[in-house]
Chains A and B, each alone.
Chain A
Amino acid sequence: MAQLILNHLSKDFGTGRAAVCDVSLTVREGGFLALLGPSGCGKTTVLRMIAGFEQPTDGSIVLGERTLADASGALPPEKRNMAMVFQSYALWPHMTVAQNAGYPLKVRGVTGATWETRVREALSVVRLEEFAHRRPADLSGGQRQRVALARCLVTSPDVVLLDEPLANLDRHLKAAMEETFREFHARSGATMIYVTHDQGEAMALATDIAVMSEGRLMQVASPQEIYARPEGRIVGGLVGQGAILDLPLPDHDPRLVPWPTIEAAFRQTAGQSRPMLVRPEHVVSDPHGIMLQVISCVFEGERFALSLRTAGGQNLKAYSATAMESGLLRPFLIRQGWLL
């Protein structure tokens, strides 16, 4: 196993706009990287280039010492020692669960008792031993997902790719499968790349998150880092809840802006305005704050979610333990903001 390096990777399908443009990142050995972004941002194309289903138009993919692909050629997927969980699971309907999971071994020439043992091991990790002789058609969605995982587990792939694997599952199953993925990662030690548009999944699973938008890589960082210190408007808007305020803030300040600075900026009318991300948990009802109008108040179970509007007409989000009548003007304090 080794680290996976994407080097100025680009892909143009000839549609006029590059699907992936100049993406460079390094996934450390044994890392769990989530590729996060809205649909059509090029994250699946990056994944398919890593797998070898698409050839990059520019740039290269390097795994350890091996160059897997560059603009002149690509190692075919069958020679890459990778595994993938597809969005549709891609189980072969004419094979049993055991045959599905054991196919990569069969191709590598493993047969007989060794094959049986290793397939049984893999199926036991995903708790599907007793389903070994069923067909995929007889399984539920979550069980099919686990067969697909077992197929990744059975050989020791250098890289495991996951293409929106939870997109077709319901909420309860998602939570259970997230746990299975975490276990799988811990157990296999493989480098994993996980494509998703769901930031909750990305935060919960990954050791690193790469945010993509319109074919470009916006930021790569750990979940905590990316939540606390997002780079730019797009990442700020994409990751976590929050609102972006445009305020006339001085640019020599540190990027974490405390309340007194924010309050001063509110009172100031002139000056270059700069975007600042405000998380809802940092907006609290406080008599010393500034007056904001409550636009709406929605009960979310554990708390109320508020939509607020400043005197300048900008929107903010906040949480509250108690209901507030909409239309009211109330004082709020913004504990901190993050300059994007």
Chain B
Amino acid sequence: MPRLSANRSSQPVWLLPFVIIAVCLLSGLPLARLLYAGLRFSIEGRATGLFSEPSTWFAIRNTLTTAVGGMVISVLAGATFAFVITLTDVRAKGFFSFAFVLPMMIPPQVTALAWVQMSGPASPLLKTLGIAPPLGSPQPLYSLGGIALLLGVQHAPLVFLALKAGLASLPRDGVEAARLAGASPLRVFRDIILPLALPGLIAGAAIAFVSGVGNFGIPAILGIPASIFVLPTLIYSRLSSFGAGTFAEMSQLSMVIAVIAGLGLVIQQRALKGRDYRIIGLSGQNAAFSLGLWRLVAEVGFSLVLFFVLVAPLAALIASSLVPAYGVPLTPDTVSLDAFAEILFRQSVTLTAFANSLFLAGTTACGLLLFTVLTAYLLARRPGRLADTITGLIEIPYALPGIVLAVAFILLFAAPLPLVNVSIYGTIWIILIAYFSSFFAVSLKPVASAFLQLDPSLEEAARLSGAGFGRRMRDILVPLIAPAAGASVILVFLIACSELTVSALLWSAGTQTLGVAIFNLDDSGSSDLASALSVLVVVMVVLLMLMLEMLAKHLPRGVLPWRN
């Protein structure tokens, strides 16, 4: 008689322990370490000086001001775009959506740099056009208002996407019924659409707020030159001026960020309570309102907005990368590719950064896929409370502001590893592990939705055909989820390649990433080199996004963050 195995499910016995160990190491351990440090330092009363310093309170105030200001701008811009694009008959919806979401994928420090190059007295673009303010006049973006504005621009796509997802499920027949009942379009909007869209709006606002609290790139470029500090940049400056109480201070400041972000989410939960409208009815097309003459107005308005938030800054960035020195106007005589030659062939700092970022992003994207495929398979085949817990643990490091995660990893690896007695602090490996932790959720999402969409009988048929776990994975499952796996790799690569926040705290000489290199070049006054590097990063981002666009029709819905 053959041996009966007690394992009735399709998964091999090692799968669940493997996934749990991986998730605990990548998510649970750093989070636990941070929590422990924050609590211990608080109880022991070390670094209490932190909260008696006015600079801490200034940073907290600045963080709240810029995050709230940014949220308001994001909501206004994102909601207008979302309502007009989903509910009316404007043309070129696909183009507008793609262009409006693009700022989200451009690294924040590049956005900030581009805006700085667009405005202010030294702007090559304004100089070329002859409309630059006189030299010596202040750069208007080096202010709380400037930081808030750019946070708004950077995070408006988040509101747009959250709202668009909600509006897409809004039934057209509901709108039509209201109009037949005699309501004017404005009335329908106020009475039907707005209440139904509110959950999406609240969710979008909350994401924009939390992202604003954790953003490092924008306040680093705009705030540090003007000595305006927010919490993430304060942590960064504390680490730069390393002292005895640094770890304690950093962990406490991280806890403050986490608490503010958490409060934002709690307010969101409160606001969402009782607003769970299950939409019944056919939700199909929903271009319910024709704008008439206003259509042209809307299209022109959108184009103008996109010009100012996308085209002009990028043009300024390109212009800055083409001038030979800071403050020189761009003319046919002055144009030069020196900056590009410099960063691509001469500067060892940028070359190392390229090598580091490509290595980190490539390894993270491909290496994570192994974990992701197994985890996604387990989650799809074994739904329940355990799966929810695992998903939650994977999502926290991604939702957490990058700066907080970086502090957690510093605390975790500052001491040499036990047993082997090797320290990875200051090496590229600590960045790599932090990336694995941070981008696990990004990598998981496409693959998990692909597995969930897969008809389980496809695997059952393979089992009855006699194929064991490895065989089924290779022959049936992996080929079927391949497009989503490809999307996952490109997406992680795209985000990891230009990442700044985590690497800003974890890098040291020789392990700088592209994000760090841009920031350092700008900080040391080489704005032409910083711009050239940024241009290359933007080109790479757009190319990768276009690659994903081409994959889009083979992907499950909701995989690409800028589509839904």
Contacts and interface: CB of A to CB of B under 8 A. Distances in A.
Interface string B1-32: 11011111000000000000000000000000
B460 A74 contact: no
B400 interface: no
Contact of B1 (A54, A66, A74): A66
Given A92-B476, A107-B471, A84 B8 contact: no
Contacts of A93: 480
Contacts of A108: 466
Contact of B457 (A65, A81, A88): A88
Interface in A10-32: none
Contacts, number: 87
Contact of A86 (B457, B465, B471): B457
B8 A151 contact: no
Contacts of A65: 1
Contact of B461 (A52, A79, A84, A155): A84
B461 A78 contact: no
Closest 4 CB pairs of A and B: A73-B4, A55-B8, A104-B465, A90-B457
Interface in B411-469: 455, 457-458, 460-468
Contact of B464 (A66, A80, A94): A80
Interface string A73-111: 111111111111011101111100000000110111000
13 contacts: A55-B8, A66-B1, A73-B6, A77-B463, A78-B463, A78-B465, A78-B466, A90-B457, A103-B462, A107-B467, A107-B471, A151-B465, A155-B466
A79 B468 CA distance: 9
A74 B74 CA distance: 56
Interface in B451-503: 455, 457-458, 460-468, 471, 475-476, 479-480
A53 to B, nearest CB: 6
A105 B476 CA distance: 15
A79 B455 CA distance: 22
A92 B467 contact: no
Given A77-B464, A78-B465, A90-B457, 15 more contacts: A51-B460, A51-B464, A66-B1, A67-B4, A70-B4, A74-B4, A78-B466, A83-B464, A91-B461, A103-B467, A103-B475, A106-B475, A107-B466, A151-B465, A155-B466
Given A66-B1, A90-B455, A94-B479, A76 B463 contact: yes
Given A84-B461, A90-B457, A90-B458, A78 B8 contact: no
B480 A90 contact: no
Contacts of B457: 86-88, 90
A203 interface: no
- Among A53, A88, A93, max chain B CB count under 10 A is at A53
A122 to B, nearest CB: 13
Interface string A277-308: 00000000000000000000000000000000
Given A90-B458, A94-B479, A78 B468 contact: yes
Interface footprint category on B: 20 to 34
A79 B2 contact: yes
B480 A72 contact: no
A79 B457 CA distance: 17
Contacts of B463: 52-53, 76-78
B66 to A, nearest CB: 49
Among B1, B8, B460, chain A packs the most CB atoms within 10 A around the CB of B8
B91 to A, nearest CB: 33
A2 to B, nearest CB: 13
A69 interface: yes
A78 B471 CA distance: 11
B44 to A, nearest CB: 48
A51 B479 CA distance: 25
A82 B464 contact: yes
Nearest to B463: A77
Contacts of A86: 457, 460-461
A54 B465 contact: no
B460 to A, nearest CB: 6
A107 B465 contact: yes
A87 B465 CA distance: 17
A62 to B, nearest CB: 10
A66 B3 CA distance: 10
A155 B466 CA distance: 11
A243 B471 CA distance: 54
Select the residue from B4, B6, B476, B480 with max chain A CB neighbours within 10 A.
B4
B8 A74 contact: yes
A23 to B, nearest CB: 18
Nearest to B471: A107
Contacts of A69: 4
Contacts of A81: 466
A222 B6 CA distance: 36
